[in-house]
Structure 1
Amino acid sequence: MPIFKALAAQTASVARTAEGTEDKALRSTRDGSLFVAGWELAGVMEGRGFMVNVGAFSTPVVGGGVGGTAIDLDAPELVIGVQDGTSILPIRIEVDMGLPVGAADDDEIDILIAVDQDKVNAESDGTAGTAEVIHNLNTLFANASKCYANSEYSATMTDPVLDLELAHMTKIFE
């Protein structure tokens, strides 16, 4: 009769084993129930899930363009930079818009989410944009993201070449 061993779900020192490793314990909750997590939750439990946000409630981000209503590639509202040798997989990107104060009929707001593979803009020293904190979604972990984030560019940065458009939306107010 086989014997199954289970380790309580690790949250402080999750380790991966090599392909083909034998005698690997199953994961369980702390009460011993077998535990299976989707890949997103498993990544967060390992301390590999991060988030960043800008703006709060009714206080919008005010950066490049015309108060954030027009796309200005060299003055973005948010930049997330990724170091060499690191890849990211965005799980959710959310942009909320409100009717601008004093908006007239047919005013429009554009949103563009894109990738600049050439990375012409290195990590900002905070002179052009506001440095943002990238938070680990597992608060038991102190490990930091290998990315950086800057928002509200008041000065222009080098014009990026956008290689990949992830999303684009235009909202027309009536």
Structure 2
Amino acid sequence: MARITILALATLNIVISQKSQIEKINIASKKNGLTISIFSDVKIQPSQITGWYNPSTSWSYITVYNASGNIEALNKTFTSDGITALEIIQLDESLQLGLRTTNPIEQFEFYNKSADSIITASLRYPLNQALAYINKKEKDAKTNNKNLATLLKKYMSEVTFLFVLILLMTLGD
């Protein structure tokens, strides 16, 4: 019985201490923050990942404990709008992802599906900045629509004339 217990504990220790190999990272910019997908060879447990934001430097950090990866390849990860710098470093027992952003990060959330070994980090901007961004986009869209309507009104007679002329030419054939 003691031998089975020792074998079970040894197996559990190997499984728990198994190092994750980070294969790639995808970063997407959203209206309310950033979404970061971290692809690993084994499932990363929520207890293995943490994140924080340093307001004095505008850097956000995500640390994946008991993980490693090809730092040179990971540092070539495509960055999207809102990110001014990316730095991924290997520490003794963890992999750290550093992101410098144009907007402050207010909240970190981590999700993983039970079916795969991808963990998603959601870094959220302050709510007032997200709402300001959405309002600006809506105003820009209204301005663009107004400009198009003005152009159509201005050149409607010319467009109508050309349309009728083309129609008459095709009917004449």
Structure with greater strand share of residues: 2
- TM-score w.r.t. structure 1 length? 0.26
Structure with greater helix share of residues: 2
Bigger Rg over Cα = 2
- TM-score w.r.t. structure 2 length? 0.26
